[in-house]
Amino acid sequence: IVGLGNPGKEYEMTRHNSGFCVLDAIAEECRVDIAQKKFKALIANTRIGSESVLLMKPQTFMNLSGNAVGAAAKFYKLAPAQVLVLYDDIALAPGKLRIRPSGSAGGHNGIKNIIAHLGTQDFPRIKIGTGAPGEGGDMIDWVIGVPSQAERKVLVESFRRAIDAAECIIEHGCQKAMNDFN
């Protein structure tokens, strides 16, 4: 499971780090620390249900996330369908989730880079809605901005659902997760 985000304190609570936030919550639930450095990422091994799972937070900044994901997939001989990616999506309202077994990058540079490194867009993903800035708002400032208190509450609730969706994908497959969480 790969959570996308940007490393560094200044990005911790930003919309763009939604993937990191969900992954941190999964790690907390599994009682592991995502602290081992490998593949240009912070990683931890755990179990979800009966499956052995690698949790990964690329430390290459969002636009180069594929470097870490591609290296880990190659090392563990993982098929792209075995790589689940969690990330923010401005096209979805805050709090909404969208699960897909594959698809284009949709303008998300982190996903574009992962597609380039895996050589396919056929890997499951959970998109976490963060909304977009209002008319005339700057997109970069929006995604690396910190959500308001009210918006943060909605996002945290969606993080809990994203954890449940990830567990569902691992235990029952993407189709069931799509039926239950989209």
Q: Which residues are catalytic?
A: 16
Check residue 107 and give left, alpha or beta (phi > 0: left; psi -120 to 50: alpha): left
Amino acid at 4: L
Identify the CA nearest to 152 among candidates 11, 15, 4.
15
* Cα angle, residue 33 at apex, residues 28 and 36 outer, rounded to 5°: 155
Distance CA 163, CA 116 (A): 26
Would you tell me how many other CB atoms lie within 10 Å of the CB of residue 125? Answer: 27
3-state DSSP assignment of residue 104: coil
Distance CA 3, CA 23 (A): 6
Distance CA 114, CA 117 (A): 5
Contact call for residues 27 and 33 (beta carbons, < 8 A): yes
